[in-house]
Structure 1
């Protein structure tokens, strides 16, 4: 197993991604963006996971990176989904990655994977799982104490911890649309906090899970770097707490790798009556403000942004092809879902599997938001800006579960 990481430079004046109605371009760097690579090699097959601090990765970037990275059988590219990085073609349904970012990101992925390959060594893995409170929750409504599942993988070589991978299903969006400083946002804050706690000799990687409907909205106490440090510390402390418990064996140095992938065609969402939705969202926002309900006002403001986006840019109209991937090493299975899947879809992927299972989001393509079918009965933000018809998210999750079941069957 190997680990590599390189900086992703972002020049001042770069158009920034994530917020549709942001004014201005980047005006400096608050913290460096990173491209992180982890490799698994069983002596026969090599799998590489590239974690990139951008808002999304499109299929064309994945194709370019796969063609450029040597001696890797399977390469996954997953975005952290920071909204304080460059715009990389984050359009519902997918788009071409604009230059110079397709070439720049490809080069950085190549460099990170090469660095990971140079550090490959025999290692064992242990999996830990638990609830993370006080960082993220369903953003479309308040559901009590903010809590999400947290998965942590510990990598052990020669009897000591050498690396930690955390999968956090929370939109890394603490910094607001008014922010023009480049930052990895929550992902970077968690990375820094974990690195501080573990010290030299332990590498740290943070991947974004199925966070389509999960954000820091109802947990954060501000939208600045101080709040980033606080939330990053909360998440890091929970990781440390989990690691102090008993981990489940995930793989050993002699475990074999196996992989599967599939392309799923998703039906387009019917066109939205944006005029009616705009009126309804504006009315809900006014009522929430009049009633002094700050949480409801935040939700209504987000829904109004979704209605504005649908009215200005339009959604739906064409089928979307999306890649689903899965691989297994030892007992550990990892699934990669494209776009922004709702958290319940990750539960659907691993519902019938007792062994350790990680579910990544924002990986290998960008079909946009992937709500659950129930969510389409509402006019919430994620549904308004989705390009995919109801049921598409479940189709992807079920296909990922099938791929994992096939891997498990082949391992017996």
Structure 2
């Protein structure tokens, strides 16, 4: 019959069609992303976070506070990372919305600024608290980011800058002395000066978001400051966004800064807001400069969209000071493109635990996100490593309620999560694997 194709011809056509389609199928991105931001600057009179000596409410605003959302979605996981300019933020209510939002995980990341609001059950009024307002705004931002997903590629770069010092000075007798202030700007160590930058591009190669991970307490502004500010973190984010042309969302994830303070601190007395805030700008611009340097070195580096996996679990630990009492603490891990590992922990993690995580994770890029809320959980306060707890000092021998060793245990849980996500650990014995 005219026009009839023989079986060999049909086979060749099928193979050619498959070959033509294969690049298209291979190019399909595995990761999609969405971004959004919302203002969370509190009303005047808001209680302030971070210093017990402050008994009055905020009397002004030095710079506005934001919550920024980065949604990452693949066939294996859907995660909302929410970066907030606050000291601490927990929201069981938001976590209850996770499934309805089409997500598997919501990770709330507080910058830990000590010039932000302290959430109470009666401000500005009991029936409409600032906590509830922030929750509603964050929910709307997550919905906006989730609704407007784009094919994404992720690239990672790192640099280093030291703007902080270890405030628990190790003395010859084996104990620690707490140095809240450092007038001589002595770079006491040890610490982790790494600046981690996660760049999120769209399928046209345009950078849409940058997530910065750095480790230093945002306490350039001190206890006499009565004005709202994101501290150096807020300045850093604005400078990075401006340096990238104002079209990019910059988020921040605080590291394990439980024992790390900034060397430059605004402690004028009487308070000189111009002088103190100038130091905030100085520190923020130093960190922003390194972030922009890293991004400059990353130019020409194409991002990958190969894989996103995530895992969250809640661990029960003992109370440090009340025998028989327990705490429920969350641990969340992300694995991106098989080479970026993120472990998010609650509380004020000491930098030594961050270093331990990086040493043991055996990945090219490893980041610890502290001050994280990823589940209905308790709050541990400070999480020192065992050796620091033994040496003592602020946050090591007080101000933490989790039993000694909890920090190492949570890091271990995070490591197990990462190795499980990498398919190197299994729920059942694996016969035949190399010993």
Mapped partners of 1:232, 1:19: distance in 2? 21
> Does residue 385 of structure 2 align to residue 357 of structure 1?
no
| Residue number among 139, 142, 152 corresponding to 2:197 in the alignment | 152
| Residue number among 401, 406, 412 corresponding to 2:420 in the alignment | 406
| Residue number among 129, 132, 135 corresponding to 1:100 in the alignment | 129
What is the aligned partner in structure 1 of residue 175 from structure 2? none
Rate the CA distance shift 1:321–1:251 in 2: closer, same or farther, 3 A: farther
| Residue number among 119, 130, 134 corresponding to 1:88 in the alignment | 119
Rate the CA distance shift 1:36–1:147 in 2: closer, same or farther, 3 A: same
* Structure 2, unaligned runs of 5 or more: 1-32, 170-185, 269-275, 427-435
Cα distance, 1:221 vs. partner?
A: 6.6
Cα distance, 1:82 vs. partner?
A: 1.2
What is the aligned partner in structure 1 of residue 296 from structure 2? 244
Mapped partners of 1:187, 1:351: distance in 2? 26
Alpha carbons 1:84, 1:181 under 8 Å: kept = yes
Cα distance, 1:247 vs. partner?
A: 8.2
Mapped partners of 1:227, 1:118: distance in 2? 39
Alignment of 1:5-404 (within 5 A): 5-42=37-74, 45-58=77-90, 60-64=92-96, 66=98, 70-88=101-119, 100-133=129-162, 135-141=163-169, 143-144=187-188, 148-157=193-202, 158-216=204-262, 218-220=263-265, 224-246=276-298, 252-253=304-305, 255-270=306-321, 318-331=325-338, 332-352=340-360, 353-364=362-373, 365=377, 366-383=379-396, 384-404=398-418
Alpha carbons 1:220, 1:231 under 8 Å: kept = no
What is the aligned partner in structure 2 of residue 303 from structure 1? none
Rate the CA distance shift 1:123–1:100 in 2: closer, same or farther, 3 A: same
SS at match of 1:127: strand
Mapped partners of 1:19, 1:250: distance in 2? 44
SS at match of 1:235: helix
Alpha carbons 2:221, 2:266 under 8 Å: kept = no
Rate the CA distance shift 1:129–1:268 in 2: closer, same or farther, 3 A: same
* Structure 1, unaligned runs of 5 or more: 91-96, 272-315
SS at match of 1:66: coil
SS at match of 2:253: strand
Mapped partners of 2:254, 2:127: distance in 1? 23
> How many pairs align?
358
Mapped partners of 1:143, 1:98: distance in 2? 47
Mapped partners of 1:10, 1:395: distance in 2? 36
Rate the CA distance shift 1:406–1:251 in 2: closer, same or farther, 3 A: farther
SS at match of 2:321: coil
Rate the CA distance shift 1:153–1:113 in 2: closer, same or farther, 3 A: same
SS at match of 2:395: helix
Aligned CA-pair RMSD: 2.8
Rate the CA distance shift 1:34–1:390 in 2: closer, same or farther, 3 A: same
Moved more, 261-270 or 180-189: 261-270
Mapped partners of 2:105, 2:127: distance in 1? 24
Rate the CA distance shift 1:394–1:75 in 2: closer, same or farther, 3 A: same
Q: Which has the larger helix fraction?
A: 1
Cα distance, 1:357 vs. partner?
A: 2.1
